[in-house]
Amino acid sequence: MVEWMKALHIIFMVTWFAGLFYLPRLFVYHAMPENAASFKLFKVMEHRLYIMMNLGAALTLLFGTILFSLNAEIYLSTVWFPIKLVLLASLLIYHVICRKIVITFRQDNNQRSHAWYRWFNEVPSVLLIGIVILAVLKF
C-alpha cells in the first residue's frame, strides 16, 4: 500500500508542478503589452490551468498525508522532514499568490512587468529542487 501511495503522490505532484511551471510563464506573456490581442485567451488559459493546479495540489497533499500517517513516527524522528514541510508551506503560499495574480489579470489590474514575472517563475524550480533532494537523500 505504501508504494501505491508514493506513486500516486508523485503523479499528482508532477501534475501540480506542471501548472506551477506553466502558469507563471503565461503571466510573463500576459504582462507584455505587445501581446494585448491575446489577453482574453490568456485569462481563459490561466483560469483553467489554476483549476488543474488545485486538483494536483489537493491530491498531492492527500496522498502525502496518507504516506505521513503510515510512517509518522519515522518521519517525525528525522531532520529532513520538517525542512521539507517548510518548503511545502512555501509552495502552498506561492500557489495562493498565483491565484491572486490570476484574479489581478482577470480584472485587468496588473501593475508588474514581464521581467518581474520571469523572476517569479523561478520560485517553484528552487522549491522543487529542495523538496526532491530532501525526500530522496533524507538528510
pLDDT in tens, 36-64: 999 999 999 999 999 999 999 999 999 99
DSSP tag of 79? S
Nearest Cα residue to 138 out of 71, 79, 70: 79
Q: Residues 134, 128: contact at Cβ < 8 Å?
A: no
Q: Which residue has the cell 522549491?
A: 127
Domain limits, the chain = 2-137
The b/e string for 14-41 (b: 16+ C-beta within 10 A; e otherwise) is: ebbbebbebbbebbbbbbeeeeeeebee
Q: What is the pTM of this model?
A: 0.94
- 69-116: per-residue pLDDT in tens? 998 999 999 999 999 999 999 999 999 999 999 999 999 999 999 999
pLDDT at residue 120, rounded to an integer: 98
What is the rounded distance in angstroms from the CA atom of residue 49 to the CA atom of residue 20?
9
What is the sign, positive or negative, of the torsion defined by CA atoms of 26, 91, 125, 15? negative
CB contact at 8 A, 97 and 117: no
The 10s digit of each residue's pLDDT in 7-37 is 999 999 999 999 999 999 999 999 999 999 9
